[in-house]
Amino acid sequence: MRQIFQYDRVDRLIDILFGVGAAHGLVGYGPLSHRVGMRPDHLSRQLRRVCEQSVEAGGPMWSALCVSADTGMPLKNFYPLAQRLRPE
């Protein structure tokens, strides 16, 4: 029987962001979206899922490492998510 490789973008994003964090770095939305084969304006839903999974498991909000090239900060939709997932 032929096996089919299942590509999960959320898992790939987690892997990439973990590597960015391990290197004490940041990554732009453009380069990150390119690495997972998406448009930058379609990343927000996937990054939300990354954060939800990580926080549920007791981990950090990995998407905080994904920043705008213009400001060096996460985009505005990160902050309401952070308030919801990490109210402290």
Q: Residue 11: CB partners within 8 Å, gap ≥ 6?
A: none
pLDDT of residue 88: 83
Summarize the confidence of residues 48-54 as an average pLDDT.
Answer: 94
pLDDT of residue 9: 87
How far is the C-alpha of 69 from the C-alpha of 2, rounded, in Å?
43
pLDDT of residue 4: 53
Q: Residue 82: CB partners within 8 Å, gap ≥ 6?
A: 51, 61, 64
Summarize the confidence of residues 54-75 as an average pLDDT.
Answer: 94
pLDDT of residue 87: 87
Q: At what angle do helices 29-36 and 9-22 cross, to 10 degrees?
A: 130
User: Does position 1 have pLDDT exceeding 80, yes or no?
Assistant: no
> Where would I find the H helices in 1-88?
9-22, 29-36, 43-56, 78-85
User: Does position 17 have pLDDT exceeding 60, yes or no?
Assistant: yes
